[in-house]
Amino acid sequence: MGEMDIGNTRRDAAAVAGVGHTEYSRNSGVTTLTLAVRAIQAALADAGLSRRDVDGVACHRVGDSADPALVAQTLGVRDLRFVRDVFGGGSSCIAPLDAAASAVAAGQARCVVVWRALNGRSGVRMAGAASNPALSADAQYWLPYRHISAPQQFAMFARMYRHKYGVTAEDLGRVAIAQRAHAALNPRAMMRQPITMDDYLGSRWIAEPLRLLDCCLESDAAVALVVTSAARARDLRRTPVTITATAFGGGNQLASNHHSDPTVPGAAIMAPRLYAAAGLGPDDIDLAELYDAFTPLVPLQLEAYGFCEPGEAAHMIADGATRLGGALPVNTHGGHLSEGYVHGLNHVAEAVLQLRHECGERQVPGAEVALSTAQPGVYSGLTGAVILKRAA
C-alpha cells in the first residue's frame, strides 16, 4: 500500500463534532486541569454529547499542563479506550487530532476529546527563566551566548528570510495589521484594537528585527475539540467538519542542521503529501489558519503550501489576498498575534467554526475547505498540517 493509499483509507472518516474554548486571559486563576476540563465540557455541550460519551483523550503539552489520564478521571471516564499524550509545542499541535481521527476511523474509540490547556502567561512562560532549556539538544550551542528565548531564535530566521527575498519591515507589519483587523471582529480575541503601520513600526524591539507586534501573545486558555466518526457526527447538534487529511514532516534547527536552508521549511517538503492524501490542491483551499508565533511565519507558509511562489508572499499580502474578502483569508480569528496563543489548536478550532459558517462578521462566505498548520519546522524538528472539509 503506497503513501497515497494510506491517506485515502482515512479520508473524511472522522469528524470534529464540537468545539470549546475557555476565556483567553493573562491570569486564569485556575489550574491547567481546570482549564482543560472547562474547554472539554464546552466542546461536548457544543456537540450535544456528555462526559459519558467520552472514551478517548488526546493532548499535546511541554510539561506545562495536566496529565491526560488525570483529565479522563476528572471527566469520569470509566472505560478509557484510547490515550495519546504528545510531547511538544506548536510543532506538535496537529498530532493529537491526527491520533484521535485514526483511533475513531479504526474503531479503537468512538468519541475522543482533543485539547491544549496552558497558563502561558501566569504560569511557566515559553523559554523563560523557569523553563528547561535541556529539553532541546541544541541548547548546548545557544546557552553560552544567552541565545535561548523564542524571539531571539526566530529573529535569526527573520533576518535570513528578509535578506533572501528582500522582505521589508512594512511587509511584516501588514501581517500584524491584517490579523488585528480580523481580531477586531472576534469577541474572544485578547487584542481587538485596530493598529496602523505607524503603531507597528513604533512598537518596541524584542529581538531585532522582531518588534513587539511581530510576536504572539502569551495566554492562559484552553481549547478542546470532540472527534467522532463522520457518520455519527451527522446525527449530532452541529454541521460536521470532516478531517480530510493530515501530514507530518521534519524541520530545521540552525545549530544542528547547518547544511540546510531554514527558509525552505519542512512544511514545503511535506505539503505535496498533504494535498495528495486529501485529493486536493492549494486552489481548493478557501481559508488558511497558519501558525503565527511570529509574523515571518505567515509569508513563509503561504509559499511553503503553494499559494504563491517563493519570495512572492509579501506581494500577495500587500495586495490584500490574505484579508477577509481576499482570495485566501488567513488567520480569520486574529491568530496567535491577536486572538491568543493556544499552541495551534485555536487555529484548528477557528477553521472548524468557519466551515460550520458560525463566525458572524468574520465569516468567509461559503467556506467549504480549510487548511490549519503547525509550526512550519523553523527551529523545530517537526511540522504538521490538517485539511478540513464541511460535510455535504
The catalytic residue positions are: 291, 341
Q: What is the C-alpha end-to-end distance of the chain, expressed in Å?
A: 28
Contacts of 43 (CB under 8 A, 6+ apart): 18, 19, 20, 113, 115, 224, 225, 226
**Coil, helix or strand at residue 265:** coil
Between CA 374 and CA 221, with CA 148 as vertex, the angle to 5 degrees is 45
Whether residue 155 contacts residue 297, with contact meaning beta carbons closer than 8 Å, is answered with no
What is the SS3 assignment for 68-122? HHHHHHHHCCCCCCEEEEEECCHHHCCHHHHHHHHHHHCCCCCEEEEEEEEECCC
Give residues with Cβ within 8 angstroms of 126, minimum separation 6: 62, 89, 120, 150, 218
Residues in the chain: 392
Q: Are 349 and 223 contacting, i.e. CB atoms less than 8 angstroms apart?
A: yes
Q: Is 378 helix (H, G, I), strand (E, B) or coil?
A: strand
